[in-house]
């Protein structure tokens, strides 16, 4: 029989502790060695990349305030998810840890690693910061993003903040804003004289040149100031945020266009030493999460502004356009204010020259494209 020799051979091999199957000759990984082998992309315990960081973020916004406060919370969630919990951020609303207008100083000192606000709030400390929120009659949202990322603006921004140990990043944009809420109509330049208005940044300086008195108030104080006639008028943001604050119940005239803020950058302030302490992958995660938050906020405002504007109109808000005479004067004085700011320092001069050159470069294309589309659609 042919089968008997084969059975005997198999028995002999078994007795010698060998296998007749060639496919089983490869060494087998033990359960212990498999458990000790880290999965691809997962840092081994004790490696530098596995270190976790727990940071604080102070903001200039009321807690969970639509668009602004919620954006800070979403950024923290995004960073936690992207880093698999290795970088967590506790968000503090304006006033919880420090007042809203002290965010920059807090990050500079290292009391908090991160801040979320608008650059023109710190103009008393860093005059050049005003360029990096909004410039009257200046760059649009897409143009500002492009100037910062491609036109040299980011490097200039970092240069302005470097003496304070702060690294800035774009973390959002509200898009073009409205001209503000007024308790009296603006029919001529004379109506601006003596007007007490909350307007931060360069727009406030322009109005001051035309006879208005400007004050800088955190957003949470605007409603009460308008309602009690402590101020006659105020800009804030646009329908989405203005409706949330109920500003239509404190003033009835809602002016446009938002000449003072054709767009408004929100910034993430990062303590430079804290940033340098992060491994490269967490630095990249923070940077890319900030870029994603920028687009997320813009989408948020485009969507919700349209809805909120209709609601404001239904509640009796009177939309008003600034007269051409007023807009022409505002445009003229804006050029004076910006030239004065540029003359204050060599750095300011370089920032303004760069921004102007970029605006001239992109304006022709946008005259042919976006402006024509808006005029016809």
Instruction: Identify the pLDDT of residue 10.
Output: 42
Instruction: Identify the pLDDT of residue 127.
Output: 95
Which strands sit side by side in the sheet containing 196-198, from one edge to the other? 213-215, 196-198, 233-234, 180-182, 253-256, 318-321
Judge if 186 and 153 occupy the same domain: no
Flag whether pLDDT at 8 surpasses 80.
no
The pTM score is 0.84
pLDDT tens per residue across span 271-324 = 999 999 999 999 999 999 999 999 999 999 999 999 999 999 999 999 999 999
Last residue of a domain, one of 244, 279, 303: 303
Last residue of a domain, one of 250, 278, 303: 303
Report residue 200's pLDDT band, with 50, 70 and 90 as the boundaries: confident
**At how many degrees (to 10) do helices 69-82 and 280-314 cross?**
150
pLDDT tens per residue across span 81-137 = 999 999 999 999 999 999 999 999 999 999 999 999 999 999 999 999 999 999 999
Tokens 């950058």 -> residue? 265
Judge if 151 and 294 occupy the same domain: yes
Instruction: Identify the pLDDT of residue 20.
Output: 39
Residue 233, in any domain of the structure: yes
pLDDT tens per residue across span 138-150 = 999 999 999 999 9
User: 7-11, 30-34, 45-49, 275-279: which has the highest mean pLDDT?
Assistant: 275-279
Judge if 326 and 364 occupy the same domain: yes
Judge if 242 and 143 occupy the same domain: no
Flag whether pLDDT at 42 surpasses 50.
no
Q: What is the mean pLDDT of residues 179-204?
A: 95
Residue 126, in any domain of the structure: yes
What residues make up the domain containing 99? 51-176+263-303
Q: Are 241 and 65 in contact (CB under 8 A)?
A: yes
Instruction: Identify the pLDDT of residue 15.
Output: 37
Residue 272, in any domain of the structure: yes
Tokens 């060639």 -> residue? 22
Judge if 166 and 224 occupy the same domain: no
Runs of H (alpha helix) within the chain: 3-15, 31-36, 69-82, 103-109, 141-150, 153-161, 201-209, 222-227, 239-244, 272-277, 280-314, 324-342, 346-366, 372-376
- Counting the structural domains of the chain, the total is 2
Judge if 348 and 256 occupy the same domain: yes
Beta-strand pair 87-92/53-59: parallel
Flag whether pLDDT at 13 surpasses 50.
no
Residue 356, in any domain of the structure: yes
Q: What is the mean pLDDT of residues 34-56?
A: 58
Judge if 72 and 215 occupy the same domain: no
| Averaged confidence pLDDT in the chain | 89
Judge if 285 and 153 occupy the same domain: yes
Last residue of a domain, one of 271, 303, 335: 303
Instruction: Identify the pLDDT of residue 217.
Output: 85
Q: In CATH, what number is assigned to the domain containing residue 115?
A: 3.40.190.170
Residue 216, in any domain of the structure: yes
Judge if 196 and 120 occupy the same domain: no
Q: What is the mean pLDDT of residues 226-243?
A: 95
Judge if 102 and 139 occupy the same domain: yes
Residue 217, in any domain of the structure: yes
Flag whether pLDDT at 19 surpasses 80.
no
Judge if 271 and 204 occupy the same domain: no
Residue 64, in any domain of the structure: yes
Residue 201, in any domain of the structure: yes
Distance (Å) of CA 235 to CA 75, 103, 135, 294, 361: 26, 21, 15, 22, 30
Judge if 296 and 219 occupy the same domain: no
Q: What is the mean pLDDT of residues 199-220?
A: 92
Q: In CATH, what number is assigned to the domain containing residue 239?
A: 3.40.190.10
Peptide bond into 257 cis (omega under 30): yes
Q: What is the mean pLDDT of residues 225-229?
A: 95
Report residue 48's pLDDT band, with 50, 70 and 90 as the boundaries: low
């Amino acid at each position: 029989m042919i089968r008997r020799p084969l059975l005997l051979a198999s028995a002999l091999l078994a007795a010698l502790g060998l296998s007749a199957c060639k496919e089983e000759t490869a060494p087998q990984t033990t359960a212990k060695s498999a458990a000790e082998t880290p999965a691809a992309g997962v840092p081994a315990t004790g490696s530098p990349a596995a270190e976790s960081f727990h940071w604080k973020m102070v903001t200039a916004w009321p807690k969970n305030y639509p668009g602004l406060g919620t954006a800070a919370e979403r950024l923290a969630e995004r960073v936690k998810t992207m880093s698999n919990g290795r970088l967590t951020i506790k968000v503090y609303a304006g006033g919880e840890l420090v007042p809203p207008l002290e965010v920059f100083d807090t990050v500079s000192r290292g009391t908090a690693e991160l801040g979320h606000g608008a650059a023109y709030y710190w103009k008393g400390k860093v005059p050049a910061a005003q360029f990096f929120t909004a410039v009257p009659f200046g760059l649009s949202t897409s143009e500002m993003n492009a100037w910062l990322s491609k036109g040299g603006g980011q490097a200039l921004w970092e240069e302005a903040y470097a003496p304070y140990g702060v690294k800035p990043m774009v973390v959002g944009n509200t898009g073009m804003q409205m001209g503000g809420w007024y308790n009296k109509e603006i029919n001529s330049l004379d109506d601006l004289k003596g007007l007490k208005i909350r307007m931060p940044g360069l727009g406030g300086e322009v109005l001051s040149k035309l006879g208005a008195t400007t004050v800088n108030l955190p957003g949470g104080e605007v409603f009460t100031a308008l309602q009690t006639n402590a101020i006659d008028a105020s800009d804030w943001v646009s329908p989405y945020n203005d409706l949330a604050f109920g500003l239509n119940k404190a003033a009835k005239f809602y002016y446009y266009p938002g000449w003072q803020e054709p767009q408004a950058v929100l910034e993430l302030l990062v303590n430079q030493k804290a940033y340098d302490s992060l491994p490269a992958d967490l630095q990249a995660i923070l940077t890319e999460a900030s870029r994603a938050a920028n687009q997320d906020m813009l989408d948020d405002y485009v969507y919700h502004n349209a809805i909120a504007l209709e609601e404001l109109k239904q509640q009796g808000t009177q939309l008003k356009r600034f007269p051409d005479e007023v807009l022409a004067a505002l445009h003229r004085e804006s050029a004076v204010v910006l030239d004065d700011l540029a003359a204050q320092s060599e750095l300011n001069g370089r920032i303004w020259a760069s921004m102007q050159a970029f605006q001239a470069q992109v304006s022709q294309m946008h005259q042919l494209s976006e402006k024509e589309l808006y005029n016809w659609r």
